[in-house]
Amino acid sequence: MSLSQRDIKNIWHPLTQHKTATAPIGIVKAAGAVLHDEEGKEYIDGIASWYTAMYGHCNEYIVEAVTRQMKQLDQIVFTGFTHEAAVTLGEKLLEILPANQSRIFFNDNGSTAVEAAIKMAFQFHFNKGEKRDTIIAFEEGFHGDTFGAMSASGLSVYNGPFEDFFLKVERIPAPQEDNLDEVLEKLKAIISNNKCAAFLYEPLVQGAAGMKFHSPEGLNAIHKVCREHGILCIADEVMTGFGKTGMNFASEYVATKPDIICLSKALTAGLVPMGITSCSQQVYEAFLDDDIARGFFHAHTYSANPPACAAAIAGIELLTSEEIQKSIRRIETNHKQFAASIRDHKKVRGVRTLGVILAVDINADMSRYGSLRNKLFEFFMERGIFLRPLGNTIYVLPPFVINDGQLQKIYKAIEESLVLFD
């Protein structure tokens, strides 16, 4: 019996309507930028398995680091204990994070990294004697699937049944070159009419919205208004972090820096789960008090899991290596060349690139998970290309180790796919 046949007997998959979905594909091996299924077919992983395996699947350097760690210390409670891998990871992260970041708080995935950040923001003000109950977020944002993170997300396809239970969130449009005055006016009105604790945002790229880009100058202007009103700025770098935008972090493009940063996905190079919420010294000091209740009483059993820390340390070492930095520039150049070649195609509504991110908007209307989008997904899979279009947006966010030949196969498949819309 195949993996797919066994799977459908007892597995409930994410983002899946099982009444209409086709059987899942059984993957038995992955290496570099390639996935292998149980029937021997290969697929180029054009999205690094949701932006995680950025240094390639089963990267030997990372696997060896984790193996060494597992033989020395597997799991240990992180309340009252510490260990070498956690301390080293904290040191290495703070070396590459924006300079105002001072403390590292461990959790276990992107959603919980955001959840911790929201709780930090609310308690930051509470500890100072203020009750602030409102989060400001972008329209069409996505921050995760736990309740706080989901509350801040603006995509109803994920949130619909739960919206009556959400935290209080007010939304502003993402800043573009032509709407900044409107955005700032709406922001100031929200601040005037609400007790705002934090502004939570995806810096420069709204991933789940369809890799939509926004202005760093506009984001900087929003930061300044928030600073004037004591509102904490929380950068959700779960998707954008660790080199994907061309910088180590998208926040580096913005002059003012966030008070809190959320990290996950590529943090551990796709090997094991981990999330981190970093913060400034100012945020950290608001929790220091003789009253124990003013501490941050938030915990995860697997906080600072040693093998996960080892994976993250190895990932940072690769990220900062000359080889990976050259690969980022190489992919960036390839993306720009392809974008220029396809920009004027009659079936292309728009194309944009930033770092290793490429997004192509098809000149057709389709639902996010509808039949036409599924047809597009299947078109790529038949050609050995793993991409997950977001409605009419085809995006590529490949592992840094992908080679030029593999990139050209992805580009060719995208161009060929346009015939589906004639």
Statement to judge: residues 252 and 119 lie in one domain: yes
- Do 248 and 159 lie in one domain? The reply is yes
Domain boundary among 319, 346, 375: 319
* Judgement on whether residues 328 and 313 belong to the same structural domain of the protein: no
Q: Are residues 198 and 179 in the same domain?
A: yes
161 and 287 share one domain: yes
Q: Are residues 332 and 305 in the same domain?
A: no
Residues 86, 204 within the same domain: yes
**191 and 46 together in one domain:** no
**CATH code assigned at 84:** 3.40.640.10
Digitized pLDDT (tens) for each residue of the chain, 422 residues in all: 899 999 999 999 998 889 988 899 999 999 999 999 999 999 999 999 999 999 999 999 999 999 999 999 999 999 999 999 999 999 999 999 999 999 999 999 999 999 999 999 999 999 999 999 999 999 999 999 988 898 888 876 667 788 888 999 999 999 998 999 999 999 999 999 999 999 999 999 999 999 999 999 999 999 999 999 999 999 999 999 999 999 999 999 999 999 999 999 999 999 999 999 999 999 999 999 999 999 999 999 999 999 999 999 999 999 999 999 999 999 999 999 999 999 999 999 999 999 999 999 999 887 766 778 889 999 999 999 999 999 899 999 999 999 999 999 999 999 999 988 87
Question: 3-state SS of the chain?
Answer: CCHHHHHCCCCCCCCCCCCCCCCCCCEEEEEECEEEECCCCEEEECCHHHHCCCCCECCHHHHHHHHHHHHHCCCCCCCCCCCHHHHHHHHHHHHHCCCCEEEEEEECCHHHHHHHHHHHHHHHHHHCCCCCCEEEEECCCCCCCCHHHHHHCCCHHHHHHHHHHCCEEEEECCCCCCCHHHHHHHHHHHHHHCCEEEEEECCCEECCCCCEECCHHHHHHHHHHHHHCCCEEEEECCCCCCCCCCCCCHHHHCCCCCCEEEECHHHHCCCCCCEEEEEEHHHHHCCCCCCHHHCCCCCCCCCCCHHHHHHHHHHHHHHCCHHHHHHHHHHHHHHHHHHHHHCCCCCEEEEEEECCEEEEEECCCCCCCCHHHHHHHHHHHHCCEECCCECCEEEECCCCCCCHHHHHHHHHHHHHHHHHHC
Are residues 309 and 263 both part of a single domain? yes
Note whether 369 and 409 are same-domain residues: yes
Which residues span the domain enclosing 148? 61-319
Same domain, 65 and 110: yes
pLDDT tens-place string over residues 107-141:
999 999 999 999 999 999 999 999 999 999 999 99
202 and 344 in a single domain? The answer is no
Residue where a domain stops, chosen among 298, 319, 340: 319
| Whether the predicted model's global pTM rises above the 0.85 cut | yes
